[in-house]
Amino acid sequence: MIAFLTNVAPIALGFVAKLFALKSQASQEQQKLMIQSLQVRNDSINMARDRADKESPMAALNRRVIIFVILALIIFTQVAPVFFNVPTVIPTVIEGASILGFELTPDTIEYVTVQAGAVLKFDEVFAWATMIIEFYFGAQLAKGK
């Protein structure tokens, strides 16, 4: 029996040691592949960041053209009544009667003609200007630099 154990034990120990060595080698190979995968992903992210930092001149030109067109439209709506002698009217809301939120008579909108020489405050003008400023600052914040 002792002879059997002395012959089989080295074989069993060699088999177990080889299994541990193969497992260690497999985990080392897996770790190496994972590091390569992370490096490739990191390189891809860095390339995307580099591309995002470099804005094409046409993209900047397109944004500027859009902003200038909107600003020109804002200016045109302010000066058109004066230059083209167009009568200007503003909507005036005449509120109807309501009790506890129940509407008894509806609101009516009456258009009043503004006399020449008056300066109008268009709500759209200020909304457009605010929108342009918000887009500009949003683009600057997204750029990150």
Q: What is the pLDDT of residues 36-47, one digit of tens each?
A: 999 999 988 888
pLDDT at 144 over 60: no
Say whether both 72 and 103 belong to one domain. yes
Say whether both 80 and 135 belong to one domain. yes
* Bridge-based pairing state of the strands 88-94 and 102-103: unpaired
Q: How far apart are CA 114 and CA 16, in angstroms?
A: 98
Give the domain extent around 38.
1-54
Domain-ending residue, one of 37, 54, 71: 54
Say whether both 27 and 98 belong to one domain. no
Say whether both 78 and 106 belong to one domain. yes
Say whether both 133 and 81 belong to one domain. yes
pLDDT at 30 over 90: yes
DSSP state of 127: H
pLDDT at 13 over 90: no
Say whether both 67 and 138 belong to one domain. yes
> Which of 17-31, 39-53, 73-87, 111-125 has the lowest average pLDDT?
111-125
Based on DSSP, count helices (H) and strands (E) in the chain, helices before strands.
3, 4
Domain-ending residue, one of 13, 35, 54: 54
Q: How far apart are CA 100 and CA 129, in angstroms?
A: 37
Say whether both 36 and 61 belong to one domain. no
Q: Please name the helix (run of DSSP H) or strand (run of DSSP E) that holds residue 92, with its range, or none.
A: strand 88-94
Say whether both 20 and 66 belong to one domain. no
Say whether both 45 and 64 belong to one domain. no
Say whether both 64 and 133 belong to one domain. yes
The total number of structural domains in the chain stands at 2
Residue 140 has a pLDDT of 65
Say whether both 4 and 27 belong to one domain. yes
Say whether both 47 and 61 belong to one domain. no
